[in-house]
Amino acid sequence: MPRPIWKGHIGFGLVNIPVTLFSAEVKTDLDFNMLDSRDKARIRFQRVNDITGEEVPWEQIVKGYEFEEGKYVILEDEDFKKARPEASEMVEVTSFVKRDAIEDIFFDKPYILVPRAKGEKSYVLMRDTLKAQGLVGIATVVIRTREYLSALLPKGDTLYLILMRFAEELRDPDEFEIPHKSDKEYEITEKEKKLAKQLVDAMTEEWDPSAHHDEYREALLKWINKRVKAGELESSPSAGEREAKVETTEPIDISELLQRSVKSVNA
């Protein structure tokens, strides 16, 4: 059972649903230790006082906000709650919107909301109402030391809390050299359009998330286990037949690439 992030309430109108918040993510990153290449001893990162040079124990460390150079406001855990006490343990729903009205780029990190004792009925009622109407709840929530925009999203029997990005956290595409001209100005032919559609159609299938997994992680683990079984350090495998991608300014024959792709998919 994962550890809860916090216990609080979903609030909308006069309704309060007692819930516990859990992370919906499972981290699968491989952990590596930093070693001294000479004797393979662990490298430790220390919390050092930049004046005395001495290590500082965790219990002596506090959070400070630098409002002027060299001047800090010290904040304890209680200060974060006192800033907005009503928000510290509340998913405050401010509105409901159609799910397809929210662009996917706004979604960030998923959490699972689990009803606490006596909260099951209101949890189910809210979940099923949102599902029936194709809606998500737009809310604010404070997690640790910052407030997030978030979405209450029903899926199956579960209510998810998806942290979202504020509009100002997304870069404007106009900052980049994105092609804005029409297809005719890029000399895209009808044949190329037809081939592109044919390729996409050939590769279209039902979405199955279980079919996708971290192949690099699996290959790396396999390689590590091989070296462990061998009982000795071995040379890293070379890239071998991997083709180098060379940047070119020569025109690309899209038709040929599309035709080859279609053939490989249909083979």
Domains of the chain: 6-28+81-167 (2.40.290.10), 179-204+251-267 (no CATH)
**What distance lies between CA 92 and its chain's CA centroid?**
22
Handedness of CA 45, 50, 51, 56 (dihedral sign): negative
Say if residue 236's pLDDT is above 50: no
Token pair recorded at residue 95? 């509105």
Lowest mean pLDDT among 15-24, 195-204, 207-216, 220-229: 220-229
Tell me the C-alpha distance between 135 and 120, whole Å: 20
pLDDT band at 50 (very low <50, low <70, confident <90, very high): confident
pLDDT band at 183 (very low <50, low <70, confident <90, very high): confident
Name the nearest CA neighbour of 158 among 116, 112, 216, 202.
112
**What distance lies between CA 73 and its chain's CA centroid?**
31
Give the global pTM: 0.64
What pLDDT, in 10s, does the model give residues 109-148?
999 999 998 889 989 999 999 999 999 999 988 887 678 8
Cα distances (Å, whole numbers) of residue 213 to 112, 205, 242: 22, 17, 21
Token pair recorded at residue 71? 């001047």
Say if residue 246's pLDDT is above 80: no
Q: SS3 breakdown of the chain: % helix, strand, coil, rounded to 5?
A: 30, 30, 40
Say if residue 98's pLDDT is above 80: yes
Residue 161 and residue 126 in contact, taking contact as beta carbons nearer than 8 Å: no
Share of the chain above pLDDT 70, in %: 83
- Angle CA(200)–CA(201)–CA(203) in degrees, nearest 5? 65
What pLDDT does 214 receive?
73
| Averaged pLDDT, 149-157 | 94
What pLDDT does 242 receive?
38
Tell me the C-alpha distance between 233 and 235, whole Å: 7
Q: Give the 3-state secondary structure of residue 95.
A: strand
Cα distances (Å, whole numbers) of residue 247 to 4, 10, 188, 241, 244: 48, 52, 21, 19, 10
Residue 105 and residue 113 in contact, taking contact as beta carbons nearer than 8 Å: no
What pLDDT does 136 receive?
94
pLDDT band at 35 (very low <50, low <70, confident <90, very high): confident
Q: Are strands 146-155 and 71-75 parallel, antiparallel or unpaired?
A: unpaired
Cα distances (Å, whole numbers) of residue 252 to 163, 178, 186, 188, 255: 41, 18, 12, 12, 9
Residue 98 and residue 135 in contact, taking contact as beta carbons nearer than 8 Å: yes
| Residue predicted with more confidence, 244 or 37 | 37
Tell me the C-alpha distance between 45 and 53, whole Å: 13
Other Cβ atoms less than 10 A from the Cβ of 74: the count is 9
Share of the chain above pLDDT 90, in %: 22
